[in-house]
Structure 1
Amino acid sequence: MSAPNRPPNRPTASRSGQPASSGQNAQFDQNAPAGQHAAAGQGSTSQAQPTHPGYDTALVIDFGAQYAQLIARRVRECHVYSEIVPWNTPVAELLARRPSAVILSGGPKSVYSPGAPQVDPALFDTGIPVLGICYGHQVMAQALGGTVDRTNTAEYGATTLSVTRPGLLFDGLPVEQQVWMSHGDAVSAAPPGFSVTANTRSTPVAAFEDLGRRLFGVQFHPEVLHTEHGMEVLRRFLLHGAGARPAWTMVNIVDEAVAAVRAQVGGARLICGLSGGVDSAVAGALVQRAVGDALTCVFVDHGLLRAGEAEQVERDFVASTGVELVHIKAADRFAAALAGVTDPEQKRKIIGREFIRVFEEAARDLEARAEAAGSRIEYLVQGTLYPDVIESGSPDAAKIKSHHNVGGLPDDLQFGLVEPLRTLFKDEVRRLGEELGLPEEIVWRQPFPGPGLAVRIIGEVTPERLEIVRAADQIVRDEIRRSGLEREIWQVFAVLLADVRSVGVQGDERTYGHPIVLRAVTSEDAMTADWARLPANLLERISNRVVNEVPQVNRVVYDITSKPPGTIEWE
């Protein structure tokens, strides 16, 4: 099935809310569907096109905000498709994407800082509904003739917002509500034509709107959960202010993705590298639904997975999808390559190199088999997600650690890429997996690094040490599951300090055993994370079981470091 059909064309509204005449918004096609504007003489010159033309789209203009991805995710939770674009994207290119709405994100700079990102005032003359958030609220005010002051009183954290007139965004919401603020500068006077709709004790213009032009701004962050009515504010902007249709649903996403894969690959054969994680599993299941037995999945078992995971991939994934699976058991090969290596970056590089070589050998065997049958493998399926696309496209992204992916295949393996998840966030991928009928154990598997348990052993990776950390990790995950906290915690795992020995007393004997570090964090996107406040009795059960059931371990410690400054993984 294709994406849902569009309704009949509707005229575009002018600033006054009436259909635009030839003298108003003349750059727009008057027969375009509402919210799907095309600039005459401009759209044809731009490279940009709508990614999902069957859906109304909100573009999030990123001014360097830590919350840009979160804004985009919250928009999708309102069932409106969203994409993130850089702040310096030309207005003509924005128009070529035919957005229903534009959201200006927050940002780390002051509008008065040298070189601070600005917004092209021409955006506000296009007729596209715009919502400014935090910094976006300020640059909108500044561009349209309002006043932004450097205040001596900053607002950070929970703040009481007073609604002075409901307007569109606050209609039906409490007069006083808690919002999340993070700013130093503030709008002191709204632009001409705007109504001030809310304030706080320190911010006289905490929200404004020009309903006729469909322009809105809020100083607070509606996308964070600490803003108690934030989702409703976003929903009112998208559905009522912009008139976007809430059609971005899992059923529609599956249908569109299946159709897109079929259109891309035709009758060609494909291979997919399974890692045991949710991303590659969902990508493989989706493509299998599209092409059936034209797909072969290759599972490289490097011996670094958690307890029972290799067996689960072989058993449950095949049972739920019917896909052809080639299971390559390469634990000995990886163990030999890692012998004597302690540097974490070297571990990652070695595992990535060996994975590529093993996958290459499997791919060549499958190619030979396909050629003998009169066909050939033309495509490689990858589980690339939207955050990967955003981060890889950022020239300012700093390298934290090497990432292990199938993307580094040798040049002589010339496959076209099929990336059916590249416009989705992690939470959407999980819901998509459920829609495809994958087992809960696969869909809700916690994020796991490509190098596996090798980077959860601080020191050399040996078979004996792998057994220790695997056994401890199994106990940790078992107790978390029994406590009903599995979906509340982003990641929980055990780390073995393999080169450290601590003195202990077990029975009547003095021992010198290894410490196990327990790491549990809460997060929404892994960009930031906080250590999980696990109940004391749960910590006690985990500690007792680990020291009693795992040989050579006599101590358990709990890591209470957030990200930043620490990373989630230890290596």
Structure 2
Amino acid sequence: MSFLSGKSRSSSATSTPNAAVVGSRSSDAVEVNVGSKTIATTTTLPVNGNGFLPSDNVDKVAILDAGSQYGKVIDRRIRELNVYTDILPLETPLSVLLEKKYKAVIISGGPSSVYGEGVLSFDAQIFNSPVPVLGICYGFQLLNKVYGGTIAKTSRRNDGQTEVAVDESSPLFKKLKTQQQVLLTHGDSVIAPVPAELKVIAKYHELVVGLANEKNKKYGLQFHPEVDLTTNGAQIFSNFLFDIAEVKPNFRMNEREKECLHFLKTNIKNKTVLLLASGGVDSTVCAALLSKVVPKDKLIVLHIDNGFMRKNESQEVVKNLSKLGLNVIHRNYSERFHYARRRRPEEDDGAEYVSVMSPTLSETIDPEEKRKIIGDTFMELANHVLKDELKLDMTDVLLCQGTLRPDLIESASKIASHKADAIKTHHNDTNFVRLLRDKGLVIEPLKDFHKDEVRKLGMDLGLPEEMVYRHPFPGPGLAVRVICASEPYKARDYDRTVILLRIICSFSDPVWHLSVLHESVKQSLTPEEITFLEAATREHKIAGHVLPIRSVGVQGDGRSFKHVAALSTDESSRIPWLVLFRLAELIPRICQSISRVAYAFGPRIIYEVEFITETTLTPFHVVTKIQEVDAIAQQVLWDSGCYRKIAQMPVILIPVEFDVDTVDPQYPGRKHSVVLRPFISNDFMTGKAAIPGQDLPEEVVIKMAQSVAEVGGVSRVLYDLTCKPPGTTEWE
């Protein structure tokens, strides 16, 4: 028996997937009879927006969408293997899948739980059919549940790149070695023993992360083979599709440029088009495409400066777009944005507001509210330019946007998924934009693309390399890189989290050894992790502090909004980066109220950070400060020749002043701290923080930190150590 073998439950009548299971969620639904049950499905099944169907002799794979952030990535990975896919609702019945002759089914991950209230509708007969099935994350847990297994929350989460052990004898892992780097992001776990009909094919220490009924060609993986953080995911899909499901790779994708141009010609015809151009690669590629199909007198390119651009950014944007032969209308509406409000719809995320009007942007604390105000104000001011200056009406013009698939997924747009959680609202997918989209007034030729695909298209269009590989910059600009706060944030379990973090950072200290919490931490660790913590905390004096602020994250396909942990040491001449990055992996797994970890340059932090510097976008110095520190950090990166080594580097201003010995809540904090986030990613759905000394020269990172620290009003400089997940690329 190999170490992957696990005890199985005895076979029972309840472990056979022979009945449909019906949940409570559906959308645009009609009822379909499945055996003795009735389930819901949508009237129009494909939701991936491809706009065409394959010929009858092309093998097809169905992706059943459970609300995953990575559903479209699954679609992309399979199409890259020359296999046609349709993304369908999770509740699609087996009868439809058989009628449409799908050769295999893949069930995506999702933010929901497979037990309790709100369980999603699905047809359990799929697991008892002749169709090969691969369940991912949520789909893996469905497989286990339908066969009679148990799923429950455990004492720790798993979010991030992890090494698992796979059974090399399984057809799913053909050509792979036992140890594999994968992405795990989940709170619920399969609990051993597993059902007798299922075989354990992958484990993360004692945790089951892979199951199979090889005879019936039913497979499940807790980890995500579709993302870049799973290094051999393409081989796993290849094994499933070609060896297990015997799918033929007989689908060819059309040339993307021709496909986009055809889409634009078909939808625009002779209408006038308004392009809101930020100057980023997405809107620039849209501009290049539009210039090929829209006459100059019918194309309006509008660049709006919202006051939160980088230093001198707007002038550079206009210059670059003009080089493409475009006539750009440039308007500076900084003051209008600062005092902008928005009218909140009654159904706005189910929130209960005191007023239907939001506070002004300059008074707004909540990051989602900031994004929505900015997004709606962009549209209102664009309408103002059209109506008052160009004498056009918004209903007479098509709005073209460089919206990408991740934008729609993270905003929980129905275009991307009916079941995804909203992670953050993108400025190109606000309620205002959705209303225009419903009226057929929005065209988005890149909505099925990821960032790396857009860059390839940009190069194919002949755009200058410096435009194509310009680092992404959020539509709301630096407004969402200033963490606003009016009071300290402390989660319900703040005190416990503070102690847990101290225990982790000084794990080997005998003072903790009789602590119940120390034992609790120890029980949630693997033997290897215990050995690491004991050795690392003996060799290095590391302090861990829970900051009284929150940052947005993505965990288990859902949005999180949790504390940030700051680590510090006295080893300024020899920063133990690899130890710090390993701690950044472990801390969010154990401390459920922390989703992001950063290293604070300078001496070890002594005083607790109890209070914050009250911060909004109102004071002039706040906006100028973030513009100044961002410009300094970006310039150091550019001058070093390392700009292309990373995908992006957000610079964030946080309302935290360190090294202050006070417990007086009336103490008026005056300083801010600055966070550097050099980030590595291809598709921006997942990624990792750049490791100094490996991904970036350490001397470049140190120079950035030292240069930023010289700016007046900066308390400390921090370096974000967090992968995505659990932390998003941006902090808000």
TM over 0.5: yes
Distance 1:553 1:149 in 2: 54
Match of 1:261 among 254, 257, 264: 264
Match of 2:134 among 131, 135, 157: 131
Shift of residue 520, structure 1, vs aligned partner: 0.3
Matched letter for residue 45 of structure 2: A
Distance 2:118 2:340 in 1: 49
Shift of residue 359, structure 1, vs aligned partner: 1.0
1:245 aligned counterpart, secondary structure: coil
Indicate the RMSD between aligned Cα atoms, in angstroms. Answer: 4.7
Structure 1 gaps of 5+ residues are 1-44, 504-511
Residue of structure 2 in register with 1:436 after alignment: 461
Shift of residue 567, structure 1, vs aligned partner: 6.2
2:149 aligned counterpart, secondary structure: strand
1:448 equivalent to 2:608? Answer no
Q: Map residues 464-475 of structure 1 onto 2, 5 A cutoff.
A: 465-475=622-632
1:392 equivalent to 2:554? Answer no
Deviation readout 1:451-507 (Å, 9 max, x if unpaired): 32234444344555544322321221222344555455454233446897999xxxx
2:274 aligned counterpart, secondary structure: strand
Deviation readout 1:307-354 (Å, 9 max, x if unpaired): 34323322223323x333222233454457699933235755654454
1:315 equivalent to 2:319? Answer yes
Q: Map residues 492-571 of structure 1 onto 2, 5 A cutoff.
A: 492-496=649-653, 514-520=671-677, 522=679, 524=681, 532-534=690-692, 536-548=698-710, 550=711, 552-553=712-713, 555-558=715-718, 560=720, 562=722, 569=730
Q: Tell me if the contact between 2:202 and 2:208 (Cα under 8 Å) persists in the aligned partners.
A: yes
Structure 2 gaps of 5+ residues are 1-41, 342-359, 483-614, 661-668
Residue of structure 2 in register with 1:148 after alignment: 149
Residue of structure 1 in register with 2:45 after alignment: 48
Q: Are the structure 2 counterparts of residues 361 and 113 from structure 1 closer, same or farther at C-alpha, using a change threshold of 3 Å?
A: closer
Q: Are the structure 2 counterparts of residues 246 and 570 from structure 1 closer, same or farther at C-alpha, using a change threshold of 3 Å?
A: same
1:518 aligned counterpart, secondary structure: strand
Distance 2:452 2:651 in 1: 24
Q: Tell me if the contact between 1:153 and 1:202 (Cα under 8 Å) persists in the aligned partners.
A: no
Shift of residue 79, structure 1, vs aligned partner: 5.4
Distance 1:129 1:448 in 2: 42
Q: Map residues 113-512 of structure 1 onto 2, 5 A cutoff.
A: 116-117=119-120, 119-123=122-126, 129-137=132-140, 139-140=142-143, 148=149, 157-164=162-169, 167=171, 169-174=172-177, 176-178=178-180, 180=182, 183-185=189-191, 188=194, 191=197, 198=201, 206-208=210-212, 216-218=219-221, 220-225=223-228, 227-239=230-242, 241-245=245-249, 252-293=255-296, 294-320=298-324, 322-331=325-334, 333-334=336-337, 341-345=362-366, 348=371, 351-352=374-375, 354-364=377-387, 368=391, 377-390=396-409, 391-393=412-414, 403-405=426-428, 408=432, 416-457=441-482, 458-461=615-618, 465-483=622-640, 485-487=642-644, 489-496=646-653
- Which structure has more RCO (C-alpha within 8 Å, separation ≥ 6)? 2
Q: Are the structure 2 counterparts of residues 162 and 357 from structure 1 closer, same or farther at C-alpha, using a change threshold of 3 Å?
A: closer
Distance 1:162 1:243 in 2: 23
Q: Are the structure 2 counterparts of residues 461 and 141 from structure 1 closer, same or farther at C-alpha, using a change threshold of 3 Å?
A: closer
Q: Map residues 78-93 of structure 1 onto 2, 5 A cutoff.
A: 78=81, 80=83, 84-91=87-94
Residue of structure 2 in register with 1:75 after alignment: 78
Distance 1:70 1:197 in 2: 26
Distance 1:220 1:469 in 2: 38
Q: Are the structure 2 counterparts of residues 255 and 336 from structure 1 closer, same or farther at C-alpha, using a change threshold of 3 Å?
A: same
Q: Tell me if the contact between 1:497 and 1:514 (Cα under 8 Å) persists in the aligned partners.
A: no
Shift of residue 104, structure 1, vs aligned partner: 1.4
Q: Are the structure 2 counterparts of residues 46 and 113 from structure 1 closer, same or farther at C-alpha, using a change threshold of 3 Å?
A: closer
Distance 2:103 2:313 in 1: 43
State the TM-score, normalizing by the size of structure 2: 0.57
Q: Are the structure 2 counterparts of residues 515 and 139 from structure 1 closer, same or farther at C-alpha, using a change threshold of 3 Å?
A: closer
Deviation readout 1:533-554 (Å, 9 max, x if unpaired): 4455333211332345x5x345
Distance 2:124 2:435 in 1: 46
Matched letter for residue 106 of structure 2: I
**Mean Cα deviation higher: 536-545 or 332-341:** 332-341
Distance 1:151 1:546 in 2: 46
Matched letter for residue 472 of structure 2: P
Distance 2:305 2:79 in 1: 35
Distance 1:121 1:412 in 2: 38
Q: Are the structure 2 counterparts of residues 380 and 369 from structure 1 closer, same or farther at C-alpha, using a change threshold of 3 Å?
A: closer
Shift of residue 64, structure 1, vs aligned partner: 5.0
Distance 2:207 2:260 in 1: 45
Residue of structure 2 in register with 1:4 after alignment: none
2:677 aligned counterpart, secondary structure: strand
1:60 aligned counterpart, secondary structure: strand
